[in-house]
Amino acid sequence: MKILFYVFTILFLVNCGSSTSDKNIVVKTFTEKYPIHKNITVTVFWAGEPPSSENGHISNVYSAWNGEWENAYGGFDSPYDRAGYHPAGFTPKENPFYFALPYNDFEVNGTKKTDLSYIPWAIPDDDKKESICKNRWVKIIYKGKIAYAQWEDVGPFGEDDEAYVFGTAKPKNQINDNAGFDVSPAVRDYLDLTGINKVDWVFVDDEDVPDGPWKEIVTTSGINWVY
């Protein structure tokens, strides 16, 4: 991943002793850390969602990183029976503002991928037993409204699309209008999503996440391979 630096510099060479008036040297730097993914088809999923024809027969009782996701979350995150941004009947143990992207930093056998150099925040001494993707934050924009959410699962329909997730390519998936982003019911409700919509999204660092309902419960749990 390339970090783009745009530097605009106005330089004035000071000629000591001349009659020319001095001018200030102005240096302005703008940094864009992560690429913005524009016009991406988004669908809705939820912790505890059973497999069906609508979700490609994929169970969300467990996630890519947690074999007991529904239990870790605190229960079934019903997309229909809601109490504000929470499911009705219980307070989640983990952040109800979550999402999935089609990439996993672990192989299907549970070993961490050896080359993660395309992930902007990867470092050589990362813990080989923990994910560097789980719990990361994104900013999501829909019709001028902005929400933030944490990465808690892999999908929709794929787990190896690093060219899209960390680069500038479009999603490889061709199902559901090339869906490349799954969001939770809380994100859906905050942004007033109505079905299969188009959103913009971008990774953000922890310190750049503002206060909001997504900060009431922050997920910090690591991998749980129990199945």
Pick the CATH number of 37-215 from 3.40.50.720, 3.30.1360.20, 2.60.40.10, 2.40.40.10: 2.40.40.10
pLDDT reported for residue 52: 58
pLDDT reported for residue 227: 53
pTM, two decimals, is 0.84
pLDDT reported for residue 63: 93
pLDDT per residue as tens, the chain (227 positions): 433 333 333 333 333 443 333 333 333 333 468 999 999 999 999 998 876 556 555 677 789 999 999 999 999 999 999 999 999 999 999 999 999 999 999 998 899 999 999 999 999 888 999 999 999 999 999 999 999 999 999 999 899 999 999 999 999 999 999 999 999 999 999 999 998 899 999 999 999 999 999 999 999 999 998 75
pLDDT reported for residue 54: 62
pLDDT reported for residue 166: 98
pLDDT reported for residue 40: 98
pLDDT reported for residue 25: 35
Distance between CA atoms of 138 and 149, rounded to whole angstroms?
6
User: Is-contact 64 154, C-beta < 8 A?
Assistant: yes
Nearest partner of 218 among 64, 97, 118, judged by Cα: 97
pLDDT reported for residue 125: 86
Which residues, including other chains, have CB under 8 Å from residue 195's CB and lie 6 or more apart? none
pLDDT reported for residue 62: 83
pLDDT reported for residue 15: 39
User: Residue 196 — φ and ψ, nearest 5°?
Assistant: -90, 105
Cis peptide before 156 (omega within 30 of 0): yes
